[in-house]
Amino acid sequence: MSERVRDTGSAAIRERVRAVLPQLTDDPSTVDLPAFRVDRTGLLDVMRVLRDAPECGFQYLSCLSGVDYPDHLDVVYHIFNLQNGAGVCLKTSAPKSDPVLPSATAVWPGANWHEREVFDLLGVRFEGHPDLRRILMPEGFDAGYPLRKDFVDSRPAKVRLVRSR
């Protein structure tokens, strides 16, 4: 059994990413992984560099999720190098009035269902996605996006009956 070098030190990873992409902004709100903010216009270029640069080699997207803030929506990407265990978190923003981001499926095909979930529940449209349609909500659901803070559930309230023991 061969031994792998596991270089997951945040400072070392941050330095390697900074050497390749000095324009990235640190995001100190993420605790477990080095995190960087990326403008949505350059998102795909940054993703390709992080995947293809030998110093990085982040070939695996493990998670893509959305976050609703009062004035914007964030999309968070957790990517990893499977050879050495290093990981990075990328964050990008889109205004609620125009929640459009480029699809990461061209870089990491596994982003497909993750993006569909963020689209379905938060309303972020991913340009270039091969099949952007609902994945969790019914196809005809048009009452908004259930994970947005401004979502109002207009369905009748369900009454739960509890039996005494």
101, pLDDT greater than 60: yes
- State pLDDT tens for residues 105-136: 999 999 999 999 999 999 999 999 999 999 99
Considering the entire predicted model, what is its pTM? 0.85
The larger pLDDT score, comparing residue 5 to residue 97, is at 97
Quote the distance between the C-alpha of residue 138 and its chain's center. Answer: 23
The topology (CATH level 3) of 10-127 is Beta Polymerase; domain 2 (3.30.460)
